[in-house]
């Protein structure tokens, strides 16, 4: 269960992401292009963490630097999708969305999309009968949470 520590690390960091990104956008002092300036620094951070850190870890672990085409393709697409998601968050802020509402909707909606896509393409799920009702209720509660956040946003 050591993986749960990393899950909580992700919850903490991604929970802070929207608030810090919005704060950075506002602190740029540029109501038109502040979001793009903030996103530029997100990109710089991604470069440092996303390129330097794995290279160091691979070097420390004596990893080969051989990559498969399929692995590179899926990983690159994941990076594009993640970067687009971050960009869409900034655009939502620019369209008067607030971090408390935007990020609540993102974190309610993303697990729903993830569950549907993962179940659709993951080879270990062979039938819908393998899905427990509690899982379905959890997904429905996430959708309800997103709806309630939208309806009763501050």
Contact at 8 Å (CB) between 18 and 108?
no
Q: State the Rg of the chain over Cα.
A: 19
pLDDT tens digits, residue range 36-90? 999 999 999 999 999 999 999 999 999 999 999 999 999 999 999 999 999 999 8
pLDDT tens digits, residue range 104-134? 999 999 989 988 888 888 756 556 667 888 9
pTM: 0.81
């Amino acid at each position: 269960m050591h993986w749960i520590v990393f899950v909580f690390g992700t919850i903490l960091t991604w929970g802070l992401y929207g608030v810090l990104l919005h704060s950075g956008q506002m602190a740029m002092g540029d109501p038109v292009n502040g979001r793009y300036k903030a996103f530029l620094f997100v990109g710089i951070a991604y470069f440092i963490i996303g390129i330097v850190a794995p290279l160091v870890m691979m070097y420390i672990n004596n990893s080969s630097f051989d990559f498969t085409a399929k692995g590179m393709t899926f990983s690159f697409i994941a990076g594009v999708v993640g970067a687009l998601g971050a960009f869409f968050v900034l655009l939502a802020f620019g369209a008067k969305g607030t971090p408390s509402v935007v990020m609540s909707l993102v974190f309610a909606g993303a697990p729903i999309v993830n569950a549907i896509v993962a179940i659709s393409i993951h080879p270990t799920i062979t039938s819908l009968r393998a899905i427990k009702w509690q899982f379905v209720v959890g997904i429905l509660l996430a959708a309800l949470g997103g709806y309630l956040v939208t309806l009763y946003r501050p």
